[in-house]
A and B are shown apart, each in its own frame.
Chain A
Amino acid sequence: MSDAAVSDAVSPQTQSRFITALRDTAFVGLLTAGLCFPLIALRAEADMNNHLELQQRWSWLVAATIAMAASRFITSIFDRLAARIVGVIGVWLILFAGGTAYYATNSHGGVIAGCAVAGLISIGLAAVLNRSNVDAGPAEPTRFYRLDTSGGSIAGNLISIAALGCAIAFPLVMLAWLGPQGSLKWINNYGVQILIYVMLGWGLNIVVGLAGLLDLGYVAFYAVGCYAYALLATKFGLSFWLCLPLAGILAAFWGILLGFPVLRLRGDYLAIVTLAFGEIINIVLTNWVDLTNGDAGIPSIPRITFFGLPFTASDDGFAAWFGIEFSPIHRNIFLFYLILTLALITNFVTLRLRRLPIGRAWEALREDEIACRSLGINTTNTKLTAFALGAMFGGFAGAFFAVRQGFVNPNSFTFSESAAILAMVVLGGMGSQIGVALAAAVMIGGTELLRELDFLKVLFGEAFDPSQYRMLIFGFGMVAMMIWKPRGLVSTRAPSIFLKQRKAIAGALVKEGHG
């Protein structure tokens, strides 16, 4: 079939295609309306007397139905993935413009017109994208072969070095650009926060990405490290630098303690048991009031010192010692470099271990457990090392968290925290170091950044808080990732050992055994 034939008269084929698309659209529209009718159209809200009243929001239901139906229409008339994505974006832009026009009380003419035009252009672009390859018939899903950057390709090394350079320069650039006051938020809320999650993601990556053990209670080890420092420092007055290794060792010890009985369980049972363990730790932390002070938490944990020099304005403080003017930003910059160092140690150890026999055994275990056992690998010990090592890095991160916050309570260690870290590992591509770091930066930094954007507040109202939708998007992203690229974004794995020449293996070719 040539291009001209498609674009000219309406052939029977395109006609039936169109009818199928319309039928799909109607079905998806009805389904959305049915799913959302009680949950979206009606909202139960308690009034002053704690009496529930229903609020009716039928326009929301209509909007959701139209949006889903229109998206389905686009995806069923276009064949190519790119055309579908661009087309759906176009439809959403037009609907957004329509919604703003319908609701806006003051003038948002520019935004409305801009969105509508951009939407129309997107749909036109989608049509062009779709036609340019119509001869090939329904296109095969394109598969991108990329090199695993953690495997050590040149491009990957350059990216890693550039990312590292940016991370090292970040606080100094911010300080020079915005001054001590303005840069505090960026270094603390963005830099340190993101790096804690990068470190947790890398730690969990050893367990999930390399050894293929799904751990849903990773936050328990984070909690162990955190409370280890908090308790040792407040009850025995030990310094952070002594507690940091202790926290890691304690967390690793807990990892071994839990790992011994459970690691012979199958993949999905292991996941549930680790989840139960995480919950038990949280309940104990909440209810063992004598030790942990329960929900009230442990306040006034000693702050970080510069290897003994406190970050205070006093005469024996950091600023006085180095003869510079005191500023609270010094502590935050130091914390930033500390967590950066800890995260890099995690990364370095992981990368080195991957080349040792134990690391190869982890990856072999992930791919096929029965084959491993047949080859004489001690699966229990292999799993246990991965589990303990992952727990240890979680413990380090926990101790850092405690010294940074100066206050801990059990609310920081809930299942949703475990789920967020797991989402980073899954979305970043299980096993890929740079992917996990990117996912952490986008997921934590991205939502913080969205909160800053004022024009979103203008459009969605003052109460708009994107972090409310963060986990919603993470959850959906995990499902989408499993369907689209189950082995993660970086789906090619460079083998860490090879005979003559390094050949990349596509993730799709690797069959997973019992994980």
Chain B
Amino acid sequence: MPSATQTLDSRFLRVGDCFAQRFSTPGTFRYALSPLPSSLAAHHDEPPRLAVVVAAGESVADPKQHHAKDDHDRRTHAVTVSLSNGTLEASPAILEITAGDVVVWGPDRSVTFGFRVRGRLGEQTVDSAALHTESVFTHAFGLPGTYEWVDANGSGLHGRVEVVSPANMGVDDVERWLATLQEGTLVHVTGHRAEPEAVQIVLGQTVVWAVEEAPGVTITDRTLLPDQSVGVSPRRGRRSR
């Protein structure tokens, strides 16, 4: 895993990243995987190459009952993105789910460059490079340092992740460290605010950004942007290793 794949940028999903979307509305989500910031690659009149077919869930009159049933029956589905003959492929290519389920896209080790998931369900656009609502981006941090992140689309959303490397580990300590990697850290994004704004994790752990009611945001390392004051007043964030 070359160090270039360790950049924190939800616009380009790489090994160590995941994008997840909850589909609450029945319909067919046709989408494309692309390394380019292009326009929609799938159109309504074309046969879908990649799709998530969302079936209606069982309707429930009582909202409380609906909530309880929703929690109990909600499922998470995994889609593996791989690179085959220079083309990004999704497995399964056609996924059938029930409204309320979550789909998680994650690349396997064959994917050597960043890509985005982008498509449409009815009038709703789902784009891993512009997170709106009921969207999740995850990133496993492999290098120590302090990561100041911002929304590359300029909403003012920002935060900080401090990654600490356990030092001088012996062979016995490695097992304990591997066990800690099962623990994730949640950053809840609502609109253009992150809660908590700053988190500290151990190298190898994963941060999960859960986004709702946002105007299409990204989670991008500030140092990757040419104008590092995107939407916020300048902050002194230094990568220290």
A binds B: no
Residues of A within 8 A of B (CB): none
